[in-house]
Amino acid sequence: MSPPLSKRTFIIETLRKRYRQHIPYGVRRGFCQSKTWLKDKREGIVFASANMNLETATPCHCLTIEQRIMPSKTYDNKVHNLKLAAQLIEQVILQPNDVFSFTKVINNPTTHRGFLNSRALVNGVLEQTEGGGLCQLSGLLYQLALQCQLTIVERHNHSMDIYTEETRFTPLGSDATIVYGFKDLRIRNQMASTLRFQFKFEHERILGSIYSTEILPTQTVRFVTVQHTPTKIVHTKTSDGRCLTISKYQ
């Protein structure tokens, strides 16, 4: 069975490359957005939105995760982008059954909207892009959602692992890449309580918290590398051994 599968995969990847080469990026993104919009309409998804008037005066603090923001040549720009995106996310209230969409909340992180150029992984290559660095924020939200047992509707890992164990600021397998118009992080609040996210920035670190009107059940999540070569494969597991997702890296 393996040879036919490998051949099929090769054909699909070849067709994708030709598709990317001959169709302008903006056209491909517009097509993908239209397809996603139609799918969302059919499924009747209700997206979480900004609602600063909702009464959340006495929320129960659920969980906080801390990450280091690694020093780099574009450190200041990255922190600027993270803070700008965090402000937008903090305005969003997740009612029961709402779906949080990272790209719907942040929209297209262009310089016209105040975002700056910073480092990002694009097609396996590190480049300076508008809104670079935001994947650290989406990865932080992903980890919060996993540990609070929220439903992950959509999540994509990066194509490559560019870090070593010494430079890694978060476990391999805990990332959530964002490509506006193509890849999103979506989290459903299937609980009966109302949720919101908050962030705090300190020197070279970011703290992400999830708040709830009721205490949410939490779980311990481990990211276990089960294969190192030729492809790195990571299983996201709960303490009772359930595998929540599988991430693969070149």
pLDDT tens, position by position, 73-103: 999 999 999 999 999 999 999 999 999 999 9
Of all residues in the chain, what percent carry a pLDDT higher than 90? 73
Q: Which residues of 109-122 are buried (b: 16+ CB within 10 A; e: fewer)?
A: beeeeebbbbbbbe
Mean pLDDT for 244-248 is 97
Whether the per-residue pLDDT at 53 is higher than 50: the answer is yes
CA dihedral 126→131→135→140, nearest 10 degrees, is 150
Whether the per-residue pLDDT at 55 is higher than 90: the answer is no
Mean pLDDT for 141-154 is 97
pLDDT (0 to 100) of residue 19: 66
Q: Closest Cα to residue 43, out of 2, 101, 105, 92?
A: 101
Mean pLDDT for 165-188 is 94
Question: Strands (DSSP E) along the chain, which ranges?
Answer: 49-50, 60-68, 92-93, 99-101, 117-122, 125-130, 151-154, 186-188, 195-202, 205-212, 221-227, 232-238, 243-249
What DSSP state is assigned to residue 47?
Answer: B
Mean pLDDT for 118-140 is 89
Q: Are 185 and 223 in contact (CB under 8 A)?
A: no
- Other C-beta atoms lying within 10 Å of the C-beta of residue 79: 17
Q: Closest Cα to residue 82, out of 127, 133, 119?
A: 133
pTM of the predicted model over 0.85: yes
pLDDT tens, position by position, 33-46: 999 999 999 999 99
pLDDT (0 to 100) of residue 164: 87
User: Which of 1-10, 60-69, 195-204 has the lowest average pLDDT?
Assistant: 1-10
pLDDT (0 to 100) of residue 23: 84
What DSSP state is assigned to residue 73?
Answer: T
For the chain, give the mean pLDDT: 90
pLDDT tens, position by position, 205-222: 999 999 998 888 899 999
| Euclidean distance between CA atoms 248 and 207, whole angstroms | 27
Give me the helix-helix angle, 135-147 and 75-90, nearest 10°.
50
Whether the per-residue pLDDT at 48 is higher than 50: the answer is yes
- In the three-class reduction of DSSP (H, G, I as helix; E, B as strand; rest coil), residue 184 is classed as coil
Provide the pLDDT confidence category of residue 249 given band limits of 50, 70 and 90: very high
Mean pLDDT for 45-64 is 75
* Cα distances (angstroms) measured from residue 51 to each of 57, 83, 89, 193, 215: 13, 19, 11, 15, 21
